[in-house]
Chain A
Amino acid sequence: MADPKSLYQEVILDHNRKPRNYGALAQASHKAEGHNPLCGDHLSVALNLEGERIALIAFQGESCAICKASASMMTASVKGKTRQDAETLIQEFRDMATGQLDVDKQPHHLGRLTVFAGVRDLPTRVKCAILPWHTLHAAFHSVADTSTESENDPMHAPIGDA
């Protein structure tokens, strides 16, 4: 098992302290709420699509450091990208966190998001890292609320097939 402390790397701690794109969007074209009832993590993701491109994105909420840093780095990663590219990142991030994508051996587009790779060794924390990504996915699909515990939410659906 990887050293869990390695998960709490400076880049993650920095994004937790100073989250990027934190706050509300005045006029969002898409938004969703995500929550994990098991730990009380709760966040909202709002974005503005211009055509297929994410022009603006913001998040806010109450969560652990892993969730907040994941949300912060997610918004920084997908801003300016197309919805299709963002969906690819959502899929790859989920695969990395659940151990289905080995970022050292398989091709991916995650870049520095690979700092979250260690979460796969902490089963109870996987959901913390994934929650922002599922909320973004829900926002794209205009799902008003997403929960890590609901059977019919996008977390349990094959995201990449959308």
Chain B
Amino acid sequence: MSARQSALQPRPGSALDVERIRADFPILKLRPGGKPLVYLDNAASSQMPRQVIDRLVRYQTTQHANIHRAVHALSEIATAEYEEARRKLARFINAREEREVIFTSGTTEAVNLAMHGYGRKFIGAGDEIILTTLEHHSNIVPWQMLAEEKGARIRVVPINDAGELLIDDYEKLFNEHTKFVGVTHVSNALGSVTPVKRIIAFAHARGVPVLVDGAQAVPHMKVDVQDLDCDFYAFSGHKVCGPTGIGVLYGKAALLERMQPFKGGGDMILSVTFEKTTYNAIPQKFEAGTPPIAAAIGFGAAIDYLSGIGMDAIAAHEHDLLDYATEQVKRMPGVRIIGTAADKAAVLSFALDGVHPHDVGTLLNQDGVAVRTGHHCAQPVMQRFKVPATARASFAFYNTMAEVDALVAGIRDVQKVFS
């Protein structure tokens, strides 16, 4: 029996002890409207295990002070814990050096940092930036702002009907004006995994740096920035069981050093006079002001938690969930799966004939099933598939086959209401 067939039968969590994992997540015990919470909106934000919550409480109750400043003990502890979190993040994505990990408020700020720090310094009039149809608005709008400011031009890689990037078209977009490539690793709206390694190699052969939006990839797979050889990699804490308000821009040290600061303020300077300010070294050069210290430490704890389970085991379980959900949903009449790429992360976007996604979302919510409905901040993807919006179920390692069944039953209920 093939792996795909075996996934058709609900199994108690393949390699993962999902029930034990679920016990770590207090919020999963909620019963909205008297029904068990079926949380399938993980691509928007994941839930937080007790281990991370406890770490936040321990930091705030025993370790908190401002960092990189005072000589008193608490400040030294807080600084050490904050920098330890950076080390964890660096190891997690296999960065060469810790200073290549810049803490940001999230993926959006990470992309904006790259735009302001690199783009505004090195991209000018007539230059071209290549993006893809799959991008989240946060990897479109900053580059449009830059293009408008500088008189640069955005070129867009198209996708096919399955939601896969057309790599030949990508390669044809290159010319002597191409100065930057921004590409998502995993589409948030469709789940498509893009061939970033090939994309990066092609760009590098032409001397063009590449930023990868990894917000939807880091939760689902082992990411190795050295193996990818990306120049920038952006991701968020709250999509990997960490707190909101924290994210990372990984950048190659040589690039980060050549970049201009994004935000000015304390911590990012060596000396300030009204005549001249000398900037601090990376990563501090890009971390002006008091950072979200607790959130960074919580991010580190979340990475510990995921590493304890193992990204390979997480990926395997999520693929089982996706395969099972895909098999169930594609057999349902009147349901169209949007995004059928051969290589997909745990995202199932779908549309019901004659039912608007917002009605789907409201009715599924009534069954305790939380999905995202809307354009997913990816309007170009919606336009490509000629839908105003989709309903999106996105899975995490703590989801179960029984929850997929609840989704499928919920979709049937919606169809019954609208029949």
Contact = CB atoms under 8 A, between A and B. Distances in A.
Interface of A: 1, 3-5, 7-8, 13, 16, 38-42, 62-66, 122, 124-125, 128
Interface of B: 33, 355-359, 362-363, 365-366, 373-375, 382, 388-389, 417-418
A39 B374 contact: yes
For the residues of B in contact with A, the DSSP-based class is helix
Contact of B388 (A5, A7, A39): A39
Contact of A62 (B366, B388, B418): B388
B363 A8 contact: yes
B366 A38 contact: no
Contacts of B362: 4, 7, 122, 124-125
Contacts of A128: 358
Given A4-B365, A5-B366, A38 B374 contact: yes
Contacts of A42: 388
A114 B33 CA distance: 24
Contact of B359 (A1, A3, A40, A65): A65
Contacts of B382: 40
Given A39-B374, A65-B418, 9 more contacts: A1-B33, A5-B363, A8-B363, A39-B356, A40-B388, A64-B358, A65-B355, A122-B362, A128-B358
Contacts of B366: 3-5
A125 B366 CA distance: 14
A15 B365 CA distance: 23
A62 B373 CA distance: 16
B358 A125 contact: yes
Which of A3, A4, A64 has the most C-beta atoms of chain B within 10 angstroms of its own C-beta?
A64
Nearest to A68: B356
A128 B418 CA distance: 17
Contacts of B356: 39, 63-65
B340 to A, nearest CB: 22
B6 to A, nearest CB: 36
21 contacts: A1-B33, A4-B363, A4-B366, A5-B363, A13-B417, A38-B374, A39-B357, A39-B358, A39-B374, A39-B388, A40-B382, A40-B389, A41-B388, A42-B388, A63-B356, A64-B357, A65-B355, A65-B359, A66-B358, A122-B362, A128-B358
